Amino acid sequence: NPDVPYDNNASERGIRKIKVKQKVSGCFRTEKGANTFMNVHSVAETAKKNGNSKYKAILAVLEQ
């Protein structure tokens, strides 16, 4: 299937932001903080990949 990429560069780019955050800050201070960051990052990146506003997606989750 030509629509399926032959490499995993998209996946590697997806985790790059997380590793850069960890490198800059040293680590997450608490498990709760790490989980919160991962949840927000997941919502934001999913919205971005679907062509939606990251801000609006996060706001929609918070308003639930």
pLDDT in tens, 17-53: 778 877 887 777 889 988 888 898 899 989 998 999 9
Buried b / exposed e across 28-56, counting CB within 10 Å, b at 16+?
eeeeeeeeeeeeebebbbebeeeeeeeee
Question: Does the pTM of the predicted model rise above 0.85?
Answer: no
In a domain, 2, yes or no: no
In a domain, 32, yes or no: yes
Tokens of 50: 């679907």
In a domain, 1, yes or no: no
In a domain, 41, yes or no: yes
List the domain range (segments joined by +) for residue 45: 9-62
